[in-house]
Chains A and B, each alone.
Chain A
Amino acid sequence: MKTTGGLNEDVTGEVVTRPVGEAAMLEGRAPVAGVAYNEPTAAAQWRLVLRRFLRHRVAVVALVVLGVIFLAVMFAGQFAPYHLNPNPLPLLEANHGPSGAHWVGTDELGRDQLTRILYAGRLSLTIGLSVAIFSTIIGTAIGAMAGYFGGWVDQFLMRITDLFLIVPAIAIIAIAQKGLQHTSFPIVGVLSSSTLIIVILSFLFWQTIGRVVRGLFLSIKEKEFVEAARASGASSWRVMFRHILPNIIGPIAVNTTLVVGAAIILESTLSFLGFGVQPPQVSLGTMLSQSESAVGTSTAYLIFYPGLFLLIVVLCVNFVGDGMRDAFDPQSTH
């Protein structure tokens, strides 16, 4: 059985009780039953979610690691051992492998890789987070309207997503990026390549979130508490935002988290191909693109470490997302 996830609906404080279901017993996950209790308030429910999240050691560790990384890259200026663009270039130190002075080595121009990874990581993370936030805002808004009102908004959403489903995402993004870079549109031409990528990727990912939100609204729309709210005179907007939305924050948050990871990977892939972030900006993808020729040579660490950094970040993001999914919806089989 798939539940829609999310917190329990009744915030009116009604007495609600749950007898133990035998099926639940057989699974060994019977909730504590029988003692009549007040439906917990919203604050208490958040605490419950938090408690369930904290029980996932892996997710918690991942969150801590992410926190550390986030701080390190956001304050790259403080943490980086060297300058990003040293002048003059320390060519004497070129192509040194990992050592005490340079923890992850130097490139052919002698630049410290750890420094570059930190700055590149900052850009990649910024892009990932921005895409996730924007696509969530847009996707939730449109998906909510589509799911709740139906009608032309719904048709619009479905047709657009259909359109974008039939062409490979990377191809479209690559063309878009190339096209918009040197375009006559005055505003767009001025954007930095990373901002452009954020815009383009958000345009791709809002559909994913939009479809999810639409589905959630469709299913929740029919529940009794929504009818009750409407019967008590709440306007549609109020119903949507005060009643339905708080209940689906869980799945939305999980999806947003997953988008962060997907966006980071997608950006790095695009940049690797040359269709993403453009020089002189540095992202992890561009670093890998530049070091591609190091395959099989003694400087292969130039490929290994930036990618490893990416891997760790996305892995942690995915673990956190998984932990969140469990925290909001503990009964989903997984």
Chain B
Amino acid sequence: MVNFVVRRIAYSIPVMLIASVLVFFFVHETTDPLAKYRQSKDLTLVAREGLRAGIYQEPCRHFTAPGNPPLPVLTCAKAPLAKQYWFWLSHFARGKMGNSFTSNRAVSRDIRDAFGNTLQLIVWGVALSATLAILIGVYSAVRQYSMLDYTFTGLSFLGLSMPPFWFGLIAIDLFAYRSQRWFHLSSAPVYSIGLHGTHGAGLFAGWSDYGRHLVLPVLTLTVQIVAEWSRYQRSAMLDVMSSDYIRTAKAKGLPRRQVIFKHGLRNALIPLVTVMAIDIGALFGGLIVTEQIFSIPGMGKLFVDALTNGDTNVLLAWLMVTAIFIILFNLLADVLYGALDPRIRLA
């Protein structure tokens, strides 16, 4: 097992490196890391900051620009792109990701904060989605072709066919705004902006506030994921339930519940768990739209802002961090598969 993990990580490193190269060149083509400084029209500042960021290199020379009063200016040679890349990579590996233009803070700090917010969405969303998906999937498989099965199937199709942001907007409209009018409430029952509002006094008020902020974004997130996972679970469950060992379990005289859950579900969960792990890994960079609609300051919003503002440092770090998480979770998926299925010897 340890061998397997080590080998997988070793394999991922070159992939990451190649990805980082491509990402670096691409981002540098489309953004200007010194844009903020150029705005100040102070060329010396630009040169100095450029030196610091490894974009410029020696030799530098001073000269005086004409004007009244005459300006001392520093200009430096532009470092070759490869050298810039190496500079950036070596710093990134040590956790130094530079500063963000938009927030003026260390990128690592921005990412950490954003990550924390996204993580909350993911944790609640996945917990809810997984529970629902498994329940729906098992039920649909065991009662195949029943009315409820068709209903669930229809709903999953709906969930898969719907642009997720549209659902979010409609949900906000209905639950945060219209519900207030219809039920004559004094304030909105659920919120649509951010993750925290004004905390009331006490623990309960704090949790209630938190919950009311969470409900809609988590719901939006859940709808897409449950649609996919429940279909998958249903299909896996159907496969499993038609296996010979289920027939054997019945032939042993086991009660139906035990057959379904102990023998059936246990086997059907194996592929589902791996899919879940992979999907969760993708979520870290995949909540862009949801966070946008609900103005949640998470990884998604960080990305959008960075892209809009051409914030190179943030973009580079963001891409690398999300890639690392995706790789980690893909690895987790394989490890889980090996752990749950004794037939797989992780070699």
Contacts and interface: CB of A to CB of B under 8 A. Distances in A.
Q: Do chains A and B touch in the complex (CB under 8 A)?
A: yes
A268 interface: yes
A269 interface: yes
B166 A296 contact: no
B8 to A, nearest CB: 12
Nearest to B27: A175
A143 B293 CA distance: 38
Contacts of B293: 292
Chain B: interface residue count, which band? 35 or more
Of A167, A176, A272, chain B has the most CB atoms within 10 Å of the CB of A167
Given A175-B30, A288-B166, A295-B177, A167 B323 contact: yes
Contact of A334 (B15, B235, B289): B235
B157 A170 contact: no
B170 A183 contact: no
B169 A295 contact: yes
A257 B165 CA distance: 22
A165 interface: yes
Name the residue in A296, A315, A318 with the highest tally of chain B Cβ atoms < 10 Å from its Cβ.
Answer: A296
A295 B172 contact: yes
A36 B212 CA distance: 67
Contacts of A317: 161
Contacts of B178: 296
B238 to A, nearest CB: 4
Query: Counting chain B CB atoms within 10 Å of each CB, which of A162, A175, A272, A275 scores highest?
Result: A175
Contact of A167 (B30, B176, B308, B322): B322
Contact of B166 (A162, A178, A310): A310
Interface in A301-327: 303-304, 307, 310-311, 314-315, 317-319, 322
A155 to B, nearest CB: 13
Interface stretch (B17-25, B88-96, B198-206, B252-260): B17-25
Contact of A171 (B15, B173, B319): B319
Nearest to B162: A311
A273 B22 contact: no
Contact of A265 (B29, B163, B304, B318): B163
Given A303-B170, A333-B235, A178 B30 contact: yes
Given A272-B289, A315-B157, 19 more contacts: A167-B323, A175-B30, A175-B315, A179-B30, A183-B29, A268-B163, A269-B163, A269-B165, A273-B288, A292-B293, A296-B176, A303-B169, A304-B170, A310-B162, A311-B158, A311-B162, A311-B163, A314-B162, A315-B161
Interface of A: 27, 159, 162-163, 165-168, 170-171, 174-176, 178-179, 183, 261, 265, 268-269, 272-275, 285, 288, 292, 295-296, 300, 303-304, 307, 310-311, 314-315, 317-319, 322, 333-334
